[in-house]
Structure 1
Amino acid sequence: MAKRAMTPEAKALKAKAIMDKAAEMFLELEYEQIKMSDIAKQMGMSNGILFVYFKTKEALFFSVLCREYVKRLDRLTEMVLQTPIRSFEDFRMLLMDELMELVDENPLYVKLESMRTAVFEKNVDAETMLNQKLDLYKRMLDVVTIICEFEAVTPEDVIEILQAEASIMTGCKLTATLPEDVVEIIKKNGMDGFQRDFREDVRKTMLSYLDGYYNNFMVPRSTEEKGYD
C-alpha cells in the first residue's frame, strides 16, 4: 500500500494523480459504475488515505471538473489574445469556435459539465465548492476583462451568455445520451432518426441563442446609445 504523502508538494502530486485516474475511469465508465474503492485500488492505496485527499466521490469529480474548467479558461484566453473582440460578431465567432473545440476534443469536460448542477454541486461539501468556485470566479473575471477590452460586449453579457452556454451544453448532452440497450434497439431496427446528434444540437441551439441575444439585447442597447426613439 502507498504511504500517505506528507509534504505539501507530495500531497499536491498525489491529489493530481488521483484526479488523473478518476478522469481516466470516467471516460470509460458511467459515474454510477465508479466506486471510490475502485479508484483507491487502482492507485494502490487504502480507502482511508483516498478519503484524506477527497472527502467524497462528488468532491473528487467536482475537483476534476474545476481543473478542466481552468484548462478551458486558459484556452479561451489564448484564443481571445489571437483575435481581439471588436464586435459582437467577433464574440459570436469566438464562442462558437471554442464551443465546437470543446465538443470535438474534450469529451471529459462535456461529460462532467452535464452532471455539474444535478450531481456534483448538489452533493459536494460546501467547503470544497466554495474554495473551488472562488478560484474559478477570479480566473473568469480575468478572461472577461480581456474579452471586453474593446467594449464590444459588457462583462454582464459575457457572463450571462457563458452561463446559458453551459445550460445548452447540458441539455443537449442529456437529450442525446440514451441507455445502451435503447441504442442497440435503435441500431438493430434502423431507427437512426430517433438518436440525437449532440454536436449538431449544441451548434444549432447556441447559434439560435446568440442570434436571439443580439436582436433582443444588443440591437436595442445600440439604438438607445445613439439616441434613437
Structure 2
Amino acid sequence: MYVLTPQEKAAKKQLIAEAASKLFQKNDFNQISMAQIARESGVAKGTLFNYFKTKENIFMYLLLSGYQDYLTEVRQRFQKSKSITSWNDFAAFLLEQNHLLIRERPDLLRLNALRGPILEAAADREQTLAGREKLYEINQKLGQAIAARITLLSVKQASHLFIIQSAIISGLMNMMNLDEFHHDQLPVDFKGFQIDLEQEANQIMLFYLQGLQQKLEGAK
C-alpha cells in the first residue's frame, strides 16, 4: 500500500483548500457542500474527510492561511519600500494596504465575517490554534520590520495596527448592503446607510493614526 509523503499530503490539502476557495468565489458559504468540494478538487469524499473533518475546518484554514499570506506580502512590500521613513510615509503605506486588501482579497474579508458566528462552531480547535500561532508569528515579524524603521512605534503597536485594520474593514462590511436581503434589493431608500468601503476605511484609519501619533509624541 502506497503511503503519501508529507509533501504529497500537504499538496493534497492545498488542492482541497483551493477547490473550496474557487467555489466560495461564486457561492455563499451555506450553498457549498463537502460533496461539491470533493468533486471540484477531484478527490474522493472519504479522502476529503481525512484532511478536513468539516466544511468549517476547510474555510477556517483558508481564512488563517489567507491572512498569513497577506501579512507576509505586506512585510515584503514594506521592506522593498526603502523610502518609507517618516510617519506620513507610513500612513500612506497603510492606506495602500487597505486598498489592496479590499480590492484584491474580497473573499478573505468575507471569510473573516464568518469566523466567529459560523466557522468556530465546527472548526477543529487544535488545527485552528496551530494556524493562529503561525499567524501571530508572521504578524510579529511584520511589527518588527516596521518598528525598526518607524521608531515612534513599538513592535507591539506596529503589529496591532493590522488588527485594527481588520476590525475597521470587518465592522464596515457588517453594515453594508442594508438595502438588500440575501442579495435581493429591498423596496426601500436607504441612502443614509450606503458605504464606500475603501473611502470609509481609509478615513477611520487616518483618524486612528492621527490619535496614535499625538499620544506617542506626547508621551516622549
Instruction: State the TM bucket, normalised to the shorter chain.
Output: 0.7 to 0.9
Between 199-208 and 96-105, the greater mean CA deviation after superposition: 199-208
C-alpha contact (below 8 Å) 1:27/1:108 kept by paired residues: yes
Deviation at 1:148, TM superposition (A): 1.0
Inter-CA distance 190–115: structure 2 relative to 1 (3 Å threshold): same
Inter-CA distance 182–18: structure 2 relative to 1 (3 Å threshold): closer
C-alpha contact (below 8 Å) 2:68/2:134 kept by paired residues: no
C-alpha contact (below 8 Å) 2:140/2:159 kept by paired residues: no
Between 194-203 and 46-55, the greater mean CA deviation after superposition: 194-203
Aligned match for 2:53, one of 55, 77, 81: 55
State the Cα RMSD in Å: 2.4
Identity of aligned residues (%): 26
1:144 aligns with 2:146: no
Unmatched 5+ residue regions in structure 1?
Answer: 223-229
Deviation at 1:44, TM superposition (A): 3.3
Deviation at 1:161, TM superposition (A): 2.1
**What's 1:92 paired with?**
91
Unmatched 5+ residue regions in structure 2?
Answer: none
Letter in 2 for 1:7: T
Deviation at 1:192, TM superposition (A): 4.9
**What's 1:226 paired with?**
none
C-alpha contact (below 8 Å) 1:168/1:205 kept by paired residues: yes
Between 171-180 and 48-57, the greater mean CA deviation after superposition: 171-180
TM-score (normalised: structure 1) = 0.83
**What's 2:176 paired with?**
176
Deviation at 1:190, TM superposition (A): 6.5
Deviation at 1:19, TM superposition (A): 0.8
Deviation at 1:182, TM superposition (A): 6.7
C-alpha contact (below 8 Å) 2:143/2:158 kept by paired residues: yes
TM-score (normalised: structure 2) = 0.86
2 CA distance for matches of 1:161 and 1:48?
A: 42
2 CA distance for matches of 1:72 and 1:181?
A: 29
Inter-CA distance 5–92: structure 2 relative to 1 (3 Å threshold): farther
Aligned match for 1:83, one of 78, 81, 89: 81
Give aligned pairs, total: 216
Between 114-123 and 26-35, the greater mean CA deviation after superposition: 114-123
**What's 2:201 paired with?**
202
Spell out, residue by residue over 1:62-81, the C-alpha distance to the aligned partner (whole angstroms, 9 max, x if none).
11112211221222112211
**What's 1:102 paired with?**
101
Deviation at 1:153, TM superposition (A): 1.1
Inter-CA distance 206–149: structure 2 relative to 1 (3 Å threshold): same
2 CA distance for matches of 1:12 and 1:56?
A: 18
Deviation at 1:175, TM superposition (A): 0.9
1 CA distance for matches of 2:195 and 2:98?
A: 18
Inter-CA distance 220–121: structure 2 relative to 1 (3 Å threshold): farther
